[in-house]
């Protein structure tokens, strides 16, 4: 969280960049990848975070968008890098400190060409619109036939429209997760779980305060199974929320 907050402060000083390339020697190299993922999610731009290792080299983790293959970008900048590797949307590299600034300038120029405002407009892939009543065990069994999910086979996402909020509250040890009880137009009552959706450091909206009883919302969810103490229940994990129009 410290890295995310410090990097966010740097970004806010120069917010309109095609890619955020940031460095601080005190950042823990072991967690900069996780922090980069959080920042990508928050700002919708590729993020590279670098820190110094025990050998005096700078090591970095990158997280990118589908529209910007970060490994191809590193290939174009290979003269500056000691080594690099990874995947189109998640990669890493090491670099000598004196090569950081020219590397950063070239990378920003590449991103400027590839990432127009239209290209990075946030889009959420939705597979199907369903009624809340349709989230039942037969659906989950059908989804299991499509597994395993991962790169090239993302988990299906479903749009649930015009749900009436019965109750919304924070949950979990740190209170960062969101539980919403929602009712369909036919009176079916079910639970949605939003991991980190009650964390105001990660979301601009305080959903616990906004979702009062009787308000209506649209939700994009993934359907899974929650098991505890020998019990099993279908779980709808929130991907995104909005107030119904």
Least Cα distance to 74 among 19, 37, 144, 135 occurs for 19
Which runs of consecutive H residues, i.e. helices, occur in 115-194? 137-144
CA distance 135 to 222: 10
DSSP secondary structure code for residue 180 in this structure: E
Structure confidence at residue 172 (pLDDT):
84
What pLDDT tens digit does each residue of the chain (245 aa) get? Answer: 789 999 999 999 988 889 999 999 999 999 999 999 989 888 889 999 999 988 888 999 999 988 899 999 999 999 999 999 999 999 999 999 999 999 999 999 999 988 876 556 667 789 999 999 999 999 999 999 998 888 778 899 999 999 999 999 999 888 889 999 999 888 889 999 998 888 877 777 788 888 999 999 999 999 999 988 888 999 999 999 999 87
The whole-model pTM stands at: 0.63
Task: State both tokens at 36.
Answer: 């980069």
**Residues facing 236 on adjacent strands:** 192, 223
CA distance 41 to 53: 26
């Amino acid at each position: 969280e410290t890295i995310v907050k410090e990097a966010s402060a740097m970004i806010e000083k120069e917010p309109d960049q095609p890619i955020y390339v940031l460095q601080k020697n005190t950042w823990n190299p072991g967690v900069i990848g996780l922090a980069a993922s959080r920042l990508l999610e928050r700002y919708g731009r590729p993020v590279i975070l670098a820190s110094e290792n025990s050998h005096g080299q700078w090591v970095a983790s990158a997280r990118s968008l589908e529209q910007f293959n970060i490994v191809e970008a590193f290939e174009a900048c290979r003269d500056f890098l000691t080594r690099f590797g990874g995947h189109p949307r998640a990669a890493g590299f090491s670099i000598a400190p004196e090569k950081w600034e020219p590397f950063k300038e070239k990378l920003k120029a590449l991103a400027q060409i590839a990432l127009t405002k239209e290209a990075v407009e946030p889009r959420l892939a939705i597979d199907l619109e369903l009624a809340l009543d349709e989230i039942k065990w037969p659906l989950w069994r059908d989804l299991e036939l499509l597994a395993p999910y991962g790169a090239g086979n993302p988990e299906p996402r479903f749009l649930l429209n015009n749900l009436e909020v019965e109750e919304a509250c924070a949950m979990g040890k740190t209170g960062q997760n969101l539980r919403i009880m929602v009712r369909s137009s036919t009176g079916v009552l079910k639970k949605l779980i939003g991991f980190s959706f009650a964390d105001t450091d990660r979301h601009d909206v305080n959903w616990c305060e906004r979702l009062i009883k009787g308000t209506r919302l649209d939700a994009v969810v993934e359907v899974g199974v929650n098991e505890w103490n020998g019990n099993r229940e279908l779980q709808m994990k929130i991907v995104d929320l909005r107030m119904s129009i």
